[in-house]
Structure 1
Amino acid sequence: MDNQELPPALEQALGGFGRYLEGERARSAHTLRAYLSDLRSLLEYAASEGIIELPGLELGTLRRWLGAQNQAGMSRSTLARRSATARSFTAWAMREDLIGTDPALRLRAPRREKSLPGVLQSQQLTRLLGGLAEAAAEGAPLPVRNRAMVELLYATGLRVGELAGMDVDDLNPDRRTLRVIGKGNKERTVPYGVPAAVAVDDWLRRGRPMLAKEHSGTALFLGSRGNRVDQRQVRAVVKDVFEALGDTSATGPHALRHSAATHLLDGGADLRAVQEILGHSSLATTQIYTHVSVDRLRKSYQQAHPRA
């Protein structure tokens, strides 16, 4: 759909806010496009109500704008983002003296829906990892690498970017721990088990030397040309093994992270220990996995108890 023509004052404000985001806030191109699309939607709605200058923008207009999108079926997460865009825009307009009062101060976004993460069952993981081990047994370097990457993702709950950024020196094979540089450049130490240790050792002995080049440096996992593996390649590997599994809707590495966290808690691990392993800055983020465990417990109870 083509953008509607805005009144000159509103178009000028849209451009000014875009320059602010791009310059002072150093937003990414993707975020910039999303924010400006949100703001254009708001200003087009305001124009449809006869508003031609920013001082005419009122709280009621903002609420009706969000309400119209809610009725159109827009997701809560998108509505929450658009509400945040509106608040950022009006706060900027106040600082620029384009408006005298901030109409978005009392604007409330709908709460984001908290979806429970998808979790692979233990028997699914046994089949998945068993298939990778069979492929690796033939000795080709990429299957050996793929097995090691997936074993390590599940064993540690690493984010895909953390896995791709690992160096050989980050491993401590004697203690079966690895050093991870996570979000916010925060460092943590994560343990891993014997199956992952076996797979990684196999990669280091048999697979990596076959792919390593002079430019490979100390990268733990390499692509077919000897470069450090990137996140896209890891995601493609995980997508393929999930598709081969056949009985899961999981598609990406984050499903392995979800599974690792949930299985740790199901096995009795302390919530704060799981927080440390996953690198969550807030315990509240980790607590979503307790909801997964309680939900599974409730389903098991309802299926098994005669008076559930």
Structure 2
Amino acid sequence: MNTDDTLKYWTACMKAADLTEKTIRERLIFIRQLARDVDSLETVTRRDLIQWTAEQNWSNSTRVHRRSGLHTFFAWMQDEGLRLDNPAYRLPRVATRKREPNPFTVDEINQLLQSGIYRKTRVMVALHYYLGLRVSEIAAVNGDDINWEARTIKTIGKGRKEATLPVPAALWPLFHQMPRTGYWFPNRTKNKLHAAGQGHIMGNSVSGLIGEAIKRIGLKHRPHDLRASLATEMHEAGVSDFIVQRSMRHSNMDTTTKYLLLRPEGIRHGFDLLPELNMPERSGRRRALPLAA
């Protein structure tokens, strides 16, 4: 079986497992890159994979993800009898580096909104911040998914999880400026999902538009940091951690804490709430009398 046949069969297996189109597409791009750089997927060795991964200019989180992806793919090849071994078994474990949350301040978001960006980009920023939508979810916003009476919006997140979110009062006037039916951000050119003019833009287009605007005003942020702003500002406003987690649509609190920046002022406020102790000025112990000569 040649590489094309292998990847076609792998694609069929992933579809049979009901993986999302995005997951399948990203996995194929990655393995095709590997196939171009090595002699053969059937004969590549553990040493080859180590050398190949070492040469890639990946971020730490991507490196962790790719290591897992290699193991998954070659385990599949082994299960299907396309290889006798799994060369990705026990690849060097990636030392994970925790990235500190880097939320925008409210002043920075206002600076971004007032920097001359177009209305649609302003709406993207607002959806990112007020609702915590991911870029792929923003790209697919459709007026038909909004309940204009209940003031809610339906979205499909990671793992095809559907969620209905209440629209906050500050965001609602912007909704009335956008189409009541159809995609808010239609694609003018063909992309991986839709023919030209027949769908919506991709998430990377949303990320690119906001990212360029951020760069122009010199802020040290990624678009995704707007989600961290949602979590951080809600937490600092005294919203319960459970509601913050549900607002971010995370399965567990550990993921939510990766977005929460505990600012020094908040920590100091927590310290200041501790019950005050009665601190004596002196020990109250008598000094020992000197020994007689």
Q: Please, what TM-score do these two structures have when normalized by structure 1?
A: 0.61
Q: Deviations over 1:136-186 (max 9, x none)?
A: xxxxxxx44443333233111111222232332433456543232323332
| Residue 218 in structure 1 maps to residue 181 in structure 2 | yes
Give the Cα separation in 1 of the matches to 2:109 and 2:161. 30
Give the Cα separation in 2 of the matches to 1:40 and 1:234. 30
**Does the C-alpha gap of structure 1 residues 29 and 200 become closer, same or farther in structure 2, counting only changes over 3 Å?**
closer
Alignment correspondent of 2:213: 241
Aligned to 2:130, the other structure's residue is in SS state helix
Alignment correspondent of 1:5: none
Aligned to 1:241, the other structure's residue is in SS state helix
Give the Cα separation in 1 of the matches to 2:83 and 2:212. 53
Alignment correspondent of 2:123: 148
Which amino acid in structure 1 is aligned with residue 219 of structure 2? Answer: T
Alignment correspondent of 1:271: 241
Contact 2:67 2:91 in 1 (8 A): no
Aligned to 1:78, the other structure's residue is in SS state helix
Which amino acid in structure 2 is aligned with residue 93 of structure 1? Answer: Q
**Does the C-alpha gap of structure 1 residues 279 and 43 become closer, same or farther in structure 2, counting only changes over 3 Å?**
same
Structure 2: unaligned runs, 5 residues or longer: 16-22, 189-196, 269-293
Give the Cα separation in 1 of the matches to 2:89 and 2:187. 53
| Residue 289 in structure 1 maps to residue 274 in structure 2 | no
Alignment of 1:143-222 (within 5 A): 143-172=118-147, 176-201=151-176, 203-204=177-178, 208=179, 218-219=181-182, 221-222=184-185
Alignment correspondent of 2:99: 115
CA-based RMSD? 4.2
**Does the C-alpha gap of structure 1 residues 168 and 25 become closer, same or farther in structure 2, counting only changes over 3 Å?**
closer
Contact 1:173 1:197 in 2 (8 A): no
**Does the C-alpha gap of structure 1 residues 147 and 68 become closer, same or farther in structure 2, counting only changes over 3 Å?**
closer
Q: Deviations over 1:179-200 (max 9, x none)?
A: 3232333222323333312222
Q: Deviations over 1:199-239 (max 9, x none)?
A: 222x14xxx5xxxxxxxx81252559787652355345423
Give the Cα separation in 1 of the matches to 2:3 and 2:206. 39
Using the TM superposition, give the Cα deviation of residue 79 of structure 1 relative to its aligned residue in structure 2, in angstroms. Answer: 6.1
Aligned to 1:118, the other structure's residue is in SS state coil
Contact 1:42 1:62 in 2 (8 A): no
Give the Cα separation in 2 of the matches to 1:220 and 1:68. 41
Which amino acid in structure 1 is aligned with residue 243 of structure 2? Answer: A
**Does the C-alpha gap of structure 1 residues 36 and 185 become closer, same or farther in structure 2, counting only changes over 3 Å?**
closer
Aligned to 1:24, the other structure's residue is in SS state helix
Give the Cα separation in 2 of the matches to 1:21 and 1:125. 43
Contact 1:178 1:190 in 2 (8 A): yes
Contact 1:70 1:79 in 2 (8 A): no
Contact 2:71 2:86 in 1 (8 A): no
**Does the C-alpha gap of structure 1 residues 116 and 174 become closer, same or farther in structure 2, counting only changes over 3 Å?**
farther
Alignment correspondent of 1:34: 30
Using the TM superposition, give the Cα deviation of residue 286 of structure 1 relative to its aligned residue in structure 2, in angstroms. Answer: 1.8
Contact 1:223 1:229 in 2 (8 A): yes
Which amino acid in structure 1 is aligned with residue 170 of structure 2? Answer: P
**Does the C-alpha gap of structure 1 residues 75 and 181 become closer, same or farther in structure 2, counting only changes over 3 Å?**
closer
Q: Which has the higher helix share?
A: 1
Alignment correspondent of 2:50: 66
Identity %: 25
| Residue 81 in structure 1 maps to residue 44 in structure 2 | no
Aligned to 1:178, the other structure's residue is in SS state strand
What is the number of residues matched between the two proteins? 251
Select the structure of larger CA radius of gyration: 2
Which structure 1 residue ranges, 4+ long, deviate > 4 Å from structure 2?
12-17, 26-30, 39-44, 67-76, 101-108, 172-176, 222-229, 298-301
Structure 1: unaligned runs, 5 residues or longer: 1-11, 47-52, 136-142, 209-216, 302-308
Q: Please, what TM-score do these two structures have when normalized by structure 2?
A: 0.64
**Does the C-alpha gap of structure 1 residues 42 and 79 become closer, same or farther in structure 2, counting only changes over 3 Å?**
farther
Give the Cα separation in 2 of the matches to 1:73 and 1:150. 29
Which amino acid in structure 1 is aligned with residue 100 of structure 2? Answer: L
**Does the C-alpha gap of structure 1 residues 109 and 298 become closer, same or farther in structure 2, counting only changes over 3 Å?**
farther
Given candidates 253, 258, 281, the residue that maps to 2:228 is 258
